[in-house]
Structure 1
Amino acid sequence: MQATPSGRLPQARFLICDCDGVLIDSEAIAERIIVERLEALWQRDDIADTVRPLLGMRTRPLLERVADTLGHVIHAETLASIDTAVRRGAVLAPMIEGVDAALGAIALGKACASNSNADYVSSALQRTGLIRHFADRVFTADQVAHPKPAPDVYLAAAHRVGVAPAHCLVVEDSVTGARAAVAAGMTVLGFAGAKHLPGDQIRKLLDAGASLVFERMTQLPSIVASIVDGHSHDSQRIAPHTHQDYA
């Protein structure tokens, strides 16, 4: 783990989770829909490689970035159509394997801070039952001035729950989200276990400022407990199937 100069991370008092790719396994669905629609529109086979690093952004800015990168123009009606298709597909996605039990095993207070809209996040959390971990502590991009990678939604969450950003742990799966949380002054635990993530996501999350990266939600309670107790991990990567897993 990358550590503070003292060799320890700031003491954790609150846990903030991203939604898509951390709580809900929806990013793979979003990626498939976006790639299929753009491939049909532009007739090229390099779209997936351009889309994947941008996952975690809101859909419309992501589409505009992809179009700009690949030298295409994307019209407003196409943006709206793909955005609607992504929302309809993602809202039925299952929760990330093991996340419900992992959150239940962590004693810290919890919030959700998502780059999606409030209606979608509320629906997903209610449908999966994960809302029980967050109650009304759910914050979304449409409630703040600037979406991730700006820190606004994370700062709003910290302000609402009354915890200094330095004492907040954030679980993020995307580079976009990790940069937002780092900009907010929070400690980022990178999650690289969702279905959509490429093999080099561990390196990308660490480069974006994550203090460590883990690959199984069963590892999260012991990682959080170690940080709460004031300890640090010896490496930047927590490998799967290790003593970090809880029962």
Structure 2
Amino acid sequence: MIDLNADLGEGFGRWRLGDDDALLELVTSANVACGFHAGDPSTMRRVCAAAVSRGVRVGAQVGYRDLAGFGRRDIEYDPHELADDVLFQIGALDAFARAAGDRVRYVKPHGALYNRIVHDAVQAEAVVRAVVTFASVYDVQVPVLGLPGSVFLELATTAGLSVIPEAFADRAYTPQGTLVSRSKPGAVLTTPEEVAGRAVEMAVSGTVRAIDGTLVNVSARSLCVHGDSPSAVAMAAAVRDGLRSVGVEVGAFA
């Protein structure tokens, strides 16, 4: 069994991005924007209510305080401020998840923060500290999603958090197993058939073809399809169908 997650709630005010309702019919975990890179209180509440009503697990997608850059610009942060910002985001989303009848079930960093803490131990530790603080206050288990082999998952494991390695069906990989920068050609895949094929390969063999043609190990418990892609719904549907066709059940890890 493997989890299928997508980034949701990434609109802001009257501006909507992606088809949250359609994706919630397909995914098993929803990475909900918490108002820093995207999202706002009303959007957060709406998506949490829709997710809980469908049995989809709610996760806090925490990011840099960067609405203008959609959280995809690298930012230097005081680690204490970063930990506070992450804790703030988790707590805010948790309030809406609880109002809907559930709670935040996991945490996944977004965008530039996600990629930064693959290697940056200082920022990774700040994120881990925030999650540990939240989990200890409410006495709950809060797993974290991240890239296999990342400093973030190593520190999270050391801190006693459950870690969920994930892979990206719609992103290109480097030979080192990291994501190709969005600024480079071919970094984002948009064809449902190609994305589904990669998802099946990842789930069955634990490998993916890197941008230079080499095979990369990507052992993962969750697969991500980005909700802001124009063909996100078609890709998620193709991934789900592709996985089922080879006997892989889709189900939430949380």
Q: TM-score over 0.5 for the alignment?
A: no
Higher relative contact order (CA 8 A, sep 6+): 1
Question: More helix per residue: 1 or 2?
Answer: 1
* Alignment TM-score, normalising by the size of structure 2: 0.30
Greater Rg by CA: 1
* Alignment TM-score, normalising by the size of structure 1: 0.31
Question: More strand per residue: 1 or 2?
Answer: 2
